[in-house]
């Protein structure tokens, strides 16, 4: 069902890899709500070609950009503004990569070169995106930027590994850049702390299935799906939330504020 919440708005969506991606689901919902889109992903991810299906459905051009490359980002914003014939109203940052996680390194023995890459791709990339937009004055007044994060930034989830630190940094960048961009142009910047979802990035976490079931049992509403997340992002891109900024917003069916549930107690008593 469409409410036309994003009618006339123009946005860039980072990170749609395949149809399970949160960015993919969000792009579809934004399109349904009347937004015009530009899609982007790392050149290497685009070689899989999946994104072209999404581009067709959403009638959006695809512009490759590695989020750690400032030249790529500049070109992306230039081309997006040319395509839109003006400034940008919203951005979804849905990008992450845990190099040590991928290589199976335990948190206590991470490789620091890989870790730097992890932090650059997963966290400082939000700064790079915002800095590019800032330098080019690419965002319209009241534009909305959303990054996706996980509660491992606040609480220990051992197998989340270095990504826990990466998410804490991502949330800090959203808060700190949110201050400056708010003052300069009323741009709002928030992170959405999402329930676990079985995507390519999500499944990289060790013991992910157990993790998913635990979160489901620990959330009064159950886990929020990628489509639920897409709906929430739509509200954040809309004018209905124009005074919300610098927040880390939990979108997790109540998980973050639940100490224990009856379902978990029952499980422990078995
Ligand atoms: P995904 O694997 O579909 O998306 C991750 C995206 O990051 C991919 O499209 C990938 O190509 C892109 N990417 C990686 N390196 C890049 C680079 N150098 N330049 C540009 N793009 C690059 O997985 P998912 O789950 O949709 O992840 C999206 C976001 O949601 C991530 O920030 C993730 O940490 C976050 N998140 C995911 C949860 C989950 O359980 N799946 C839970 C909470 C947050």
Residue 178 falls inside a structural domain: yes
The reply to whether 162 falls in a domain is yes
Among the ranges given (71-80, 147-156, 226-235, 261-270), the one the predictor scored with the smallest mean pLDDT: 261-270
CATH number for the domain that contains residue 199: 3.40.50.720
For the chain, the average pLDDT equals: 97
Is residue 203 within a helix (H) or strand (E), and if so which, with residue range? Answer: helix 200-203
State the residue range of the domain holding 125: 10-268
Q: For 156-203, what is each residue's pLDDT tens digit? A: 999 999 999 999 999 999 999 999 999 999 999 999 999 999 998 888
Residue 57 is labelled as binding a ligand: no
Percent of the chain, pLDDT > 70?
100
Site residues for ligand 1, CB cut-off 6 Å:
15, 17, 21-23, 41-42, 45, 66-68, 94-97, 121, 148-150, 194, 196-197, 199-202
Reported pTM: 0.98
Query: Active site residue: 3, 107, 112, 160, which one?
Result: 160
From the CA of 231, how far away is ligand 1's center (Å)?
A: 18
Calculate mean pLDDT across residues 95-120: 97
Report if residue 2 sits inside a domain: no
Whether residue 16 is contained in a domain is answered as yes
ipTM comes to 0.99
Per the annotation, the verdict on 112 as an active-site residue is no
Let me know if residue 1 belongs to a domain.
no
* Position 5 in a domain: no
Split into its structural domains, the chain has a count of 1
For residue 4, is it within any domain?
no
- Say if 3 falls within a structural domain: no
How many of the other CB atoms lie within 10 Å of CB of 183? 9
* Dist. CA 200–CA 260, nearest whole Å: 29
């Amino acid at each position: 069902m469409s409410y036309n919440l994003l009618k006339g708005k123009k946005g860039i969506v980072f990170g749609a890899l395949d149809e399970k991606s949160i960015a993919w689901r969000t792009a579809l919902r934004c399109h349904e709500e009347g937004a015009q889109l530009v899609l982007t992903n790392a050149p290497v991810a685009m070689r899989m070609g999946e994104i072209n299906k999404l581009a067709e459905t959403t009638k959006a051009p695809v512009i490759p950009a590695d989020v750690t490359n400032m030249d790529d980002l500049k070109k992306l914003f230039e081309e997006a503004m040319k395509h839109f014939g003006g400034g940008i109203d919203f951005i979804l940052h849905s990008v992450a990569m845990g190099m040590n996680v991928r290589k199976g390194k335990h948190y206590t023995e991470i490789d620091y070169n890989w870790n730097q890459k992890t932090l650059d791709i997963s966290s400082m990339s939000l700064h790079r995106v915002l800095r590019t937009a800032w330098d080019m004055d690419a965002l319209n007044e009241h534009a909305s930027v959303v990054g996706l994060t996980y509660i491992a930034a606040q609480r220990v989830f051992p197998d989340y590994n270095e990504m826990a630190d990466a998410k804490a940094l991502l949330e800090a960048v959203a808060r700190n850049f949110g201050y400056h961009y708010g003052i300069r142009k009323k741009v709002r910047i928030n992170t959405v702390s999402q329930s676990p979802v079985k995507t390519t990035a999500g499944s990289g976490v060790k013991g992910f299935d157990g993790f998913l079931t635990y979160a489901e049992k620990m959330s009064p509403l159950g886990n929020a799906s990628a489509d639920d997340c897409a709906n929430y992002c739509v509200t954040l891109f809309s004018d209905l939330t124009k005074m919300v900024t610098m927040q880390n917003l939990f979108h997790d069916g109540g998980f973050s504020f639940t100490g224990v549930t009856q379902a978990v107690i029952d499980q422990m008593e078995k």
